[in-house]
Structure 1
């Protein structure tokens, strides 16, 4: 009887383990806040893919977890490798682990969205995506986070000198920290979910983000100034763990990849539509807006380029192609 009990228990445990392996609910995560472009694009992607699964009569579905419900970006990156999160939208933290992605940390490299498309085609997929895969990350989608601008509670930022002494929140990106140190600020890495309280309590003086993130997080309620710098264009990467993504059926991966391309175009259209509207809303919400002196920031940024060329694999080749595509 004892042997039978062990056998039945073993069968039950095996059945439970098989169910876990064959689970068909895919977890999709982003730390982006409700109402931001990243949040909305990820939600659109999830809904689109689920409709396609139904049309194809494929017994898979996605569950969307926004606003850091499954953890901050750093935690989610680890969960992708473990397979406990299936897909995640990552931005500025990924270059810390995949140095080639720091191309998009170079200030004032990207001129406009047409330029972004050329860099995606000629640099991102040939050079950067394969480098990410070697580190265990399968990049599926190249979406938009946006052009970043600086907000703070002290004064307008016209030149790098205006940043002297200001505690500016950055993402947990070593490259962004280098950038703001080089400009004279006191960069303070912090998860975005903590930024509002940090600004409200004076732990930090300011931060930098696209308009969509600034407005969605209501930062205009705790910041007096928005300075238009457009200093960095940040992509958002729909990412999976390479090992776990490869185990999905081909028909499932095809739908995911098609949905990602559709979401990319949807996100670009939304970004273009909202850019001016959100800027005006920030001003209407009480922020003073100024356009920074671009040349002074460009002149102060050369050391970041030198660092990239010297320390990133294929840095010079990628930078050369990216700059040539702007012509």
Structure 2
């Protein structure tokens, strides 16, 4: 960050490539900051992991070497475990529920926890939608249909445990290796939001899509707390307001684009199926096998029940 009183330049890391929901959030935030400061603030964007992997950027922001980062929430969780509540399978069941949790009192508590635990402050959220399941073999409507398939997952304990609950031993694999592995048949399937499936051209190597709703993808925009504290009260206000406005934009962007992306993927030959019986088998398995394993890491079952109650579910 420049110390020039008349112009400041911040660095922002972005985990994904240009064109996805992370990029949309970052560019909108950058535009709003420039507008609010009459062009005195510039934010240099570094997409596609140029400044290190997503967990590295949390470390760098925590010690003040990096100003901002946009990253998948599961990469914040190791530093501030209570944030992991937002990654519990089948907790969030709609985009509106994701918005309610991130922008309401629970979201504020998670922001405070992250400042305390990780030395970074969440100032915005990118909403990417539900991670749908894709594969190259056959239509999947029940967990039993997964039998014999090799499914790629990130190195994420909750996601691994979810597939194990459905009777599959998934294959943890780096994101950079995933397309080639699908192309070569090393793995048969993976899960990601429609926006990612589209951006990565997975339609070229995957045929079937199952509309599961087990995890709603959220990507927080974080600022180094030490950098934030160095700013004037006016600049802090600008950062917080720009984060709120960019978050609202991200939510609208998802609503506007997801259905057209799905239609385009269908036109490109992907076949869409819905799980049987409104996903009952999928949901029952993770509630029984996955939820109890992770209560402790997110702050206890009482904390989880409090979040369910906020969503109107017991």
Alignment match, 1:307: 293
| Match among 201, 205, 209 for residue 188 of structure 2 | 205
Residue 80 (structure 2) pairs with residue 94 (structure 1): no
Deviation at 1:215, TM superposition (A): 0.4
Q: TM-score, normalised by structure 1?
A: 0.85
Alignment match, 2:43: 62
Structure 2's unaligned 5+ residue stretches are none
Gap change, CA 1:201 and 1:325, over 3 Å in 2: same
Please say which of residues 172-181 and 277-286 is displaced more in the overlay.
Answer: 172-181
Alignment match, 2:216: 233
Contact 1:95–1:173, Cα closer than 8 Å, also in 2? no
Alignment match, 1:85: 66
Deviation at 1:19, TM superposition (A): 6.3
Contact 2:25–2:125, Cα closer than 8 Å, also in 1? no
Alignment match, 1:292: 275
Contact 2:141–2:210, Cα closer than 8 Å, also in 1? yes
For residues 279 and 18 of structure 1, what CA distance do their matches in structure 2 show? 43
SS at match of 2:187: coil
For residues 100 and 310 of structure 1, what CA distance do their matches in structure 2 show? 9
Deviation at 1:18, TM superposition (A): 9.2
Alignment match, 2:115: 133
Gap change, CA 1:310 and 1:60, over 3 Å in 2: closer
Residue 232 (structure 2) pairs with residue 249 (structure 1): yes
Residue 210 (structure 2) pairs with residue 224 (structure 1): no
Contact 2:95–2:129, Cα closer than 8 Å, also in 1? no
Residue 304 (structure 2) pairs with residue 322 (structure 1): no
Q: TM-score, normalised by structure 2?
A: 0.88
Residue 30 (structure 2) pairs with residue 46 (structure 1): yes
Gap change, CA 1:78 and 1:194, over 3 Å in 2: farther
CA RMSD of aligned residues (A): 2.4
Structure 1's unaligned 5+ residue stretches are 1-16
Select the structure of larger CA radius of gyration.
1
For residues 210 and 254 of structure 1, what CA distance do their matches in structure 2 show? 32
Contact 1:151–1:207, Cα closer than 8 Å, also in 2? yes
Q: Which consecutive aligned stretches of 4+ in structure 1 deviate over 6 angstroms post-superposition?
A: 17-20
For residues 208 and 273 of structure 2, what CA distance do their matches in structure 1 show? 8
